[in-house]
Chain A
């Protein structure tokens, strides 16, 4: 691997770190404008982060090291995903260390850490949020893995670089039924996993409807900053990943030039901004689902993913 490939991977991490609050801010701004409000501006999440990072550290009484460590595990696993997935360039030095299954595993590792922290507080809200979060995560997992399967069929591998490269070389496969179904399934799953509408409402402050927010109710100050930063990063990375899995244009190769890395950076920024804007705009028009209607949505996406796999098996022509 070249030095530039390593630099591109590092750039991905830094980009996700710096860009995640902006993505969240941008989405809030889009929503605000569409709802006829002025909004806090794109930079508001960054200002919130800075404020919270300077606040006093607070340890809720009775919590253990699990509670203290969870934000770092969530943020760390998300940063690692940012280093592995092909956002700017294909040849991440960690590409052979983890494929799409590994990335899904890391994603769940973060979810589990936060869930345990929610239980660890020993409050009713913490337990409630954790219980709901883990229920949704358990139902999301089958869909994600099946979508991974569907995506891995054309490239003959679940390694991310291989999937993206296969799509880039054979763009006609994108309009195949398998690929389209997998896209819809993956989109629903990412919405569920990042706690967006209609599964969870990220701006809710009504305890009984909360999932993610209930779980992190006891966090304050720097730890809360880390949790919110991490959830923004998760959203950004997943949007970037889904963008490149289905629209890999502009991504730099495994041995990129300086210019290619720059183009890759611009391309992924544009893609994430467009996707985030669409997601935010879509959220204006829908209401949160009842918690016990969510499994129906996820079952639907599971069926789509299953159809995607079967379709790609029976209709797809293996290219490798």
Chain B
């Protein structure tokens, strides 16, 4: 995919230069600092609720009729804490980033507001407060996405994002209004008390609507299309916040409304979630593995990981409804742990990608390369993130994916046929996702950071400033904890699991100690021990390679093998496009790339080639098939409706009167 990026992102802000100099306050430091402080407050508050008592706050005057109602319980607490932790790293990073990119005043002000809105969503204790916080989050994130609005791609992504996020909001709004109308109140606690009175009809409708609405926020298929557009076009700290914290809110909604308030539901609820999750995971990772835009690759990887989490949630729901609560607890732990570890490695991934973007102005992997020597710290950081995203041992995502697989293979044998069919297929989907995820991350890290630079901009890259490195280091430390010592998180996870009714208070989740043990089923794993043993084994291999070293001449640096030619130019290297070509060919039927090869021969001979041009355009097949007809239909409708808009005020008044009459007739 060819993405043209403005070579001088700082250009629009130049006009503000003198004004910025006159300003006495340091905008980036203030905004980033405030974001980090908000994050720290969120983290402390979240942890205090997880380990202590639930907190409540009522502000009656803030909203007419119902007032604002905040109820923070351990489930909300874990999301508040995760958002807070992401915000700390992003806030510190944003200081250097905003300074380097000359952010305007508007995004600087909006950044802390966005974090505050995200912290409010899981703390909301009533439908009204929840919807208010949700809208605030959507609006602030939209402003941030549009902060480089002078570029056409950004505006296009912004419009897409605005429409899709509001569409999702409509689903959620309808569902929650029905819920509070039938549940007899606005507060979640009141609804929870009356939820048993709900008949299956509205219950199922609410379930489907919320899954669609929250799924669109989490980037699940088929309402994912905004995510790979908006996340890459947003400034990188914002991408990190959106991809690591905001998408989690979709998952939060599914857990809170569908699993906790409405659940446990019938078998097909769990199955629906599993299908949504599996399809999103496979589709997301497939798109990631052929994507050549570094940030878009990470964005598709978000769809993939949210899919895995939804799959785990669906498995938990299905296992609970078919009477296997212990295994369901493993699946739920897997979902929560993956959510947290994804937040860690995706923050790091987007922040590192942001450093690359700031240093080179490039997101196109086909033009990057050779950054390992020019930006060593950023390279290591992205390496840690990529290892986490690929789900390999020593990576942040390994433990949670292991737990997910364990929960899938330990489903009871004597249960219904549905489970016996769903579980193997899910293992296949998870495994394909992991396999392709490895390919995608090897491509991102290998082609983007190793080898030789493929463009002058990559050649001239310099390491990011200190505050950006500090933000990344924090996220990297979190990744290492998830990879090697998940035991540290075990107490918090246990407390959260205990409040989830799907699990049932008494059936304990997996024991996450130095050695992970699963309850009720045989299975254990120890990431820490594995890491230590691998370090020893690698050392042993080094010692082996030193055998006979006494006889060796000193080390020599030699040129690369060029098949006898003079020298290798960087253009002879494999690019991201060529690297992913075999995969693209294998999955041709799903990806449907638009490729075109033109061979120009010399006039003298058909056997001599003058020029070969290869053009490939990757378009999202779901977007093309599913969205284009809808957009076309809406446009036709709009054209029709426009005929009624003649500009005559008298006619408009008549419309108003007619509308009022109809409403009165219907409502009577």
Give Cα distance in the complex from A130 to B546, angstroms. Answer: 27
Interface string of A277-320 (1 = CB under 8 A from B): 00000000000000110010000001000100110011010101
B48 to chain A, nearest CB (A): 34
Contact A116 B446 (CB under 8 A): yes
Contact B572 A138 (CB under 8 A): no
Q: Which residues of the partner chain A approach B405 to less than 8 Å between Cβ atoms?
A: 101, 145, 158
Q: Which residues of the partner chain B approach A159 to less than 8 Å between Cβ atoms?
A: 522-524
Please give 14 more A-B residue pairs, beta carbons under 8 A apart, in addition to A291-B582, A309-B427: A57-B552, A60-B557, A94-B530, A97-B529, A101-B405, A112-B438, A119-B450, A122-B369, A123-B572, A131-B574, A141-B435, A146-B428, A155-B522, A226-B544
Residue on B with the closest CB to A307?
B424
Q: Which residues of B contact A (CB under 8 A)?
A: 289, 369-370, 372-373, 390-394, 398, 402, 405-406, 408-410, 413, 420-421, 424-425, 427-428, 430-432, 434-436, 438-439, 442-443, 445-447, 450-452, 515, 521-526, 529-530, 533-534, 537-542, 544-549, 551-563, 568, 570, 572-574, 578-583, 585-586
Interface string of A121-159 (1 = CB under 8 A from B): 111111110111011011111111110110011011111
Contact B435 A142 (CB under 8 A): yes
Q: Which 6 A-B pairs have the closest CB atoms?
A: A127-B574, A141-B435, A76-B538, A119-B446, A157-B522, A75-B541
A247 near B: Cβ within 8 Å? no
Contact A149 B409 (CB under 8 A): yes
**Which residues of chain A (44-85) have a CB below 8 Å from chain B?**
50, 53-62, 64-66, 71-73, 75-77, 79-80, 83
Q: Which residues of the partner chain B approach A221 to less than 8 Å between Cβ atoms?
A: 552
A275 near B: Cβ within 8 Å? no
Residue on A with the closest CB to B514?
A97
Q: Which residues of the partner chain A approach B432 to less than 8 Å between Cβ atoms?
A: 138, 141-142
Q: Which residues of the partner chain A approach B540 to less than 8 Å between Cβ atoms?
A: 76, 79
Contact B557 A162 (CB under 8 A): no
Identify whether the interface residues of A are mostly helix, strand, loop, or mixed: helix
Residue on A with the closest CB to B570?
A122
Residue on A with the closest CB to B413?
A318
A106 near B: Cβ within 8 Å? yes
The interface on chain A, measured as residues whose beta carbon lies within 8 A of the other chain's beta carbons, has a size of: 95
A108 near B: Cβ within 8 Å? yes
B180 to chain A, nearest CB (A): 43
Contact B560 A309 (CB under 8 A): no
Among B420, B436, B546, B563, contact of A313 (Cβ-Cβ < 8 Å)? B420
A96 near B: Cβ within 8 Å? yes
Contact B431 A144 (CB under 8 A): yes
19 pairs across A/B with beta carbons < 8 Å? A94-B533, A98-B393, A99-B523, A102-B525, A105-B391, A109-B392, A116-B445, A120-B450, A122-B450, A127-B573, A131-B580, A134-B443, A135-B582, A156-B521, A158-B523, A218-B560, A221-B552, A225-B545, A318-B413
Give Cα distance in the complex from A224 to B522, angstroms. Answer: 41
Q: Which residues of the partner chain A approach B537 to less than 8 Å between Cβ atoms?
A: 75-77, 79-80, 83
Given A123-B573, A138-B583, check contact A105 B544 (CB 8 Å): no
B274 to chain A, nearest CB (A): 16
B616 to chain A, nearest CB (A): 15
Among B552, B579, B585, contact of A130 (Cβ-Cβ < 8 Å)? B579
A115 near B: Cβ within 8 Å? yes
Q: Which residues of the partner chain A approach B542 to less than 8 Å between Cβ atoms?
A: 72
B11 to chain A, nearest CB (A): 32
A222 near B: Cβ within 8 Å? yes
Contact A97 B530 (CB under 8 A): yes
A273 near B: Cβ within 8 Å? no
A217 near B: Cβ within 8 Å? yes
- A62, A75, A225 pick with most chain B CB within 10 angstroms: A62
Contact B545 A53 (CB under 8 A): yes
Q: Which residues of the partner chain A approach B572 to less than 8 Å between Cβ atoms?
A: 123-124
Among A94, A292, A314, contact of B529 (Cβ-Cβ < 8 Å)? A94
